[in-house]
A = this chain, B = another copy of it.
Amino acid sequence: MANSKFEYVRGFEQTDALLPNTWIVVRVDGRAFTKMCAVYGFEKPNDRRALDLMNAAAKAVVADLPDITIGYGISDEYSFVFHKSCNLFERRASKLVSTVVSTFTANYVYSWSTYFTSTPLSFPLPTFDGRAVCYPSVQNLRDYLSWRQVDCHINNLYNTTFWALVQLGGASNREAEKALAGTLSADKNEILFSRFHINYNNEPEMFKKGSVIFRDYELVDPDSHRVAEEMDDLAEPVQQSKSQAEKDKKRRSKARVVVEHLDIIKDEFWDRRPWILSGKPGKVPKET
């Protein structure tokens, strides 16, 4: 029984390699998480256990895939950025997306009981979908991440005010919605403060800023690098000797991966952590 008769079907596979020398963002989104929230009783407006679990799953993804240079998560979504010089899986979209989504899902399900200690997981199981988008320049990439962080702020301010009206103010969902229709940020801050004595600025950073995941090295003097320009100048996908690239990859995979809640819109975050854009490992901080 020869296989050759059927093997022609392999010719129907179409390549989906992403354009070289561009930043690849793989975004993972929770499927039907509104229902998940209801079934598992997630707290409103933010469930710390759920966010911690998202962060744990995302950390595992970044640790597993050293080509990822930064991750950013809010609510039930997480974005992972593959460095523009990355050639993992020959940059095939389906391989990159499915690997990230599967690793994220496996860790989310596996670590559920660590974070939801009194709510055992059953059906429906949490699942995620994903997609890949390419960004040609550093500015495009930073604008993408800024877009997500602005979204985080807008949604969190809205949700915080909405649930204050409902949980503390006794409003129905419908009434709360109506009360917020057409309000600006300042209005919502005002409602929170005057009616519920909540100073939005004092809300937890994780809720206001989302979560940033990256490898941890010593911060540098902000003026010491021009890494964005260097990266935009980067042309040839393979820039350095293979052995150096392998060494860097190994060092990256050994670095401590941290989750923080910082402003990633302003320059400072990027200027002090040039390794995120350069992909070159920084100086390992002294243990304390």
Contact = CB atoms under 8 A, between A and B. Distances in A.
A223 interface: no
A231 to B, nearest CB: 9
Contacts of A12: 19-21, 133-135, 140, 144
A95 B129 contact: yes
B137 A125 contact: no
A105 interface: yes
Nearest to A228: B233
Contacts of A232: 137, 229, 232-233
A129 B98 contact: yes
Contact of A128 (B102, B128, B135, B136): B102
A131 B101 contact: no
Contacts of A46: none
A31 B190 CA distance: 52
A253 interface: no
Most buried by B among A1, A12, A20, A151: A12
Interface in A133-159: 133-137, 139-140, 143-144, 146-147, 150-151, 153-154
Contact of A136 (B14, B97, B121, B136): B136
Nearest to A151: B3
Given A97-B94, A129-B95, A143 B105 contact: no
Contact of A102 (B5, B13, B102, B185): B102
B16 A19 contact: no
A75 interface: no
Interface of A: 1, 3, 5-17, 19-22, 28, 31, 60, 84, 92-95, 97-99, 101-110, 121, 125-137, 139-140, 143-144, 146-147, 150-151, 153-154, 185, 229, 232-238
Please name the 7 residue pairs, one residue from A and one from B, whose CB atoms are nearest each other, closest first.
A139-B235, A232-B232, A6-B147, A136-B136, A98-B130, A106-B125, A102-B127
14 contacts: A1-B153, A1-B154, A3-B150, A6-B143, A6-B150, A9-B140, A12-B19, A14-B133, A15-B17, A21-B137, A99-B129, A102-B128, A229-B229, A229-B232
